[in-house]
Amino acid sequence: MDGTAVLLLELGAVFLLLSLLGLLARAVGLSTIPLTLVAGLVLGEGGAAALTEAGPFVEGAAQIGLVLLLLALGLEFSSTELVVSLRRHAPSGLVDLVLNATPGLVVGLVIGLPWEGAMALAGVTWISSSGIVARLLDDLGRLANRETPAVLSVLVLEDIAMALFLPLLAVALAGTGPLRAVAAVALAVGTVLIVLAAAHRHGHRLGRLLAHPDDEQVLLRLFALTMLVAGLAEAVGASAAIGAFLVGIAVPASFADRARMILRPLRDLFAAIFFFAFGLSVDPGGVLPVLPAILVLAVVTTATKVVTGWYAAGRDGVGRRGRLRAGTALVARGEFSIVIAGLAASAGLAEVGPVAAGYVLALAVLGPVLARTATAGPSPARTKTG
C-alpha cells in the first residue's frame, strides 16, 4: 500500500476515534480533553500502535490548533479589559510564580538535576495550559462567568512571562553569557509590548480590515493575519501563542462575536488534533521510574494552583464558589510545559523529559476533571467590552 493511502487511512481512523471519544465524553458529562490525551498516549511512542505516515501532519496541525485556541481565547477578552486586568492582577501573577515554580525548582534539585534542569522543571510546574483552560472554559460554559477575567488574567500574565522565561532558559541551557540573555529577553519583551500597545490603540482599524459580507473572506483574512503574527512572535523569541492571543484581543468587540462563530468549526478540528498530538509525544515507559516525583509535584501544585485562582478571583470580589471554579480551572498544564521540557532535552538534560511528560499528562487529565466537578452555581455574566 502506498504512502498516500496509508496517510489517508490513518487520518480517517484518528478523526473517527476522536469523534467516538467526543460522544463518550458528552455521554458521561466530561470534557473531551482527558480522553483525547489518553488516546494519543495509547497510539504514541511506546504505546499499543503508531502512526507511520500521519505523524508529520498531526505535528503541524497541532501547532495550528494551539494558535487557534489562543486566538479564540483572545476574542473573549478586549484590549481594554486586558490592560485593566493586568494592572489589577499583577499581585496574582507574583503569587502564581512563587507558589507554583518553587515546587518544581525544589524537586528538581532534590532528584539531582543541575540548576539549569531545576530551573526548567520550575517552569514546567509554574505555567498552566492556556490551550486546555481555554477549551475547558468553553466546554463548561464558563466564558461569561464572573471569575473568568481573573482566570484569563493569570493565563495572560503567564504567557507574557514566557516571553521572558523561554529566552532566558534557552540561554542558560546553552551556557552563554549574561549579555546575550539580556538581549534575548529585551527583544522578546519589547515585541510583546509594541504589539499590545498597537492593539489597544488601533483595534478598530483591524476590525475594518477583517470585515466582509462573505464569511469565507473573513475566515481567510483572520486566519492569515493570525498565522503571520504568530510566526513573527515565534521568530523574535516570544511565542506563537502570545502572538495569536494578541490578534484576538485586538479584534474589536463589535466584530468578535462574528469572528468566534466563523472560527469555531476550524478551531474545534485543530484543537482536537493538538490534544491528541500531545498524548502522542509521551512515552509511557520513561515515566514509571520517576513516578514518585511526579506524584509529589502533582499533589502539591494542584493545591497551589487552586490557591492561586482563589486569590486572583477574590481580588475581583468573586464569591467562594467562583473562587473554587477559578482555582480548579488553572490546574491543567500542557503546551508551554512541553516546550520547556523539550528545550532541556535538546540541551542534554534528557532526565527532565520523563518527569515533565508524566506530570503534564497527569494534570492535563486531572485538571479538567477537577474543574468539571468543582462547585457549580450561577454567576453574574460578563461581556467583552472595549
CA gap 128, 239 in Å, rounded: 15
Phi/psi for 27 (5° steps) reads -65, -35
Contacts of 299 (CB under 8 A, 6+ apart): none
Answer left, alpha or beta for residue 141, where phi above 0 means left and psi between -120 and 50 means alpha: left
pLDDT of residue 385: 45
For residue 176, the surrounding DSSP H or E stretch is: none
Backbone angles phi, psi at 149, to 5 degrees: -55, -35
Q: Is 378 helix (H, G, I), strand (E, B) or coil?
A: coil
φ/ψ region of 2 (left if φ > 0, alpha if ψ in -120 to 50, else beta) reads beta
Q: What is the pLDDT of residue 210?
A: 85
Among the ranges 31-40, 166-175, 236-245, 292-301, which has the highest mean pLDDT value? 292-301
Cβ proximity of 157 and 89 under 8 Å = yes
* Least confident window among 95-104, 167-176, 262-271, 367-376: 167-176
The answer to whether 187 and 237 are in contact (CB under 8 A) is yes
In order, the DSSP letters of 106-152 are HHHHHTT--HHHHHHHHHHHH---HHHHHHHHHHTT-TTSTTHHHHH
Instruction: Please give the pLDDT value at position 19.
Output: 92
What is the spatial distance between Cα 315 and Cα 147, in angstroms, rounded to a whole number?
10
Q: What are phi and psi of 283, to 5 degrees?
A: -95, 110
pLDDT of residue 338: 80
Cell of 270: 485543530
Cell 471519544 belongs to 21
Please tell me which residue, 19 or 162, carries the higher pLDDT value. 19
Distance of alpha carbon 53 from alpha carbon 3, whole angstroms: 7
Mean pLDDT of the chain: 83
Query: pLDDT tens digit string along 138-174?
Result: 888 888 888 998 998 898 888 777 767 877 787 777 7
C-beta separation of 51 from 14 below 8 A: yes
Higher pLDDT, 181 or 121: 121
Range from 37-46, 135-144, 173-182, 228-237 carrying the lowest mean pLDDT: 173-182
In Å, what is the CA distance from 163 to each residue of 221, 241, 247, 303?
26, 10, 16, 26
Length of the chain in residues, anyone? 386
pLDDT of 79 > 70? The answer is no
- Only one residue has cell 549574561, namely 178
Percent of the chain with pLDDT over 70: 84
Looking at residues 303-329, what average pLDDT do you find? 94
Position of cell 534575548? 184
Rg for the chain, CA atoms, rounded: 20
Domains and CATH numbers, the chain: 3-373 (1.20.1530.20)
pLDDT value at 199 more than 90: no
Q: Which amino acid is at 58?
A: V
| Crossing angle (nearest 10°) for helices 3-27 and 33-43 | 140
Which residue matches cell numbers 504567557?
Answer: 159
Q: In this predicted structure, which of 81-95, 116-130, 324-338 has the lowest mean pLDDT? A: 81-95
- Cα dihedral sign for 275, 277, 278, 283? positive
Q: Which whole number is the average pLDDT over 226-238?
A: 81
Taking CA atoms, 204 is separated from 90, 167, 230, 255, 317, in Å, by: 27, 32, 20, 9, 31
**Is the alpha carbon torsion for 51, 56, 61, 62 positive or negative?**
positive
b (16+ CB within 10 A) / e for 288-303: eebeebbebbbebbbe
Given this model, what pLDDT does residue 156 score?
Answer: 81
- The mean-pLDDT minimum among 55-69, 96-110, 241-255, 356-370 falls in 241-255
Average pLDDT on 166-194 reads: 70
